[in-house]
Amino acid sequence: MVLQPEEWVRQHCVHYLMNEKTVPKSLINLEKELIINGLKKRYDIIVYNNDGSIHLIVECKAPDITIDQKTFDQIARYNLVLDSTYLMVTNGINHYYCQMDYSAKQYKFLEDIPSL
- pLDDT tens for residues 69-79? 999 889 988 99
pTM confidence score:
0.92
Provide the residue ranges of all domains of the chain, joining segments of one domain with +.
5-110
The CATH number of the structural domain formed by 5-110 is: 3.90.1570.30
Strands 54-60 and 86-90: parallel
Q: Residue 91 and residue 65: Cα distance in Å, rounded?
A: 7
Q: Residue 99: pLDDT above 80?
A: yes
| Mean pLDDT of the 33-50 span | 91
Q: How confident is the model at residue 94 (pLDDT cuts 50, 70, 90)?
A: very high
Share above pLDDT 90 across residues of the chain, in percent, rounded to a whole number: 73
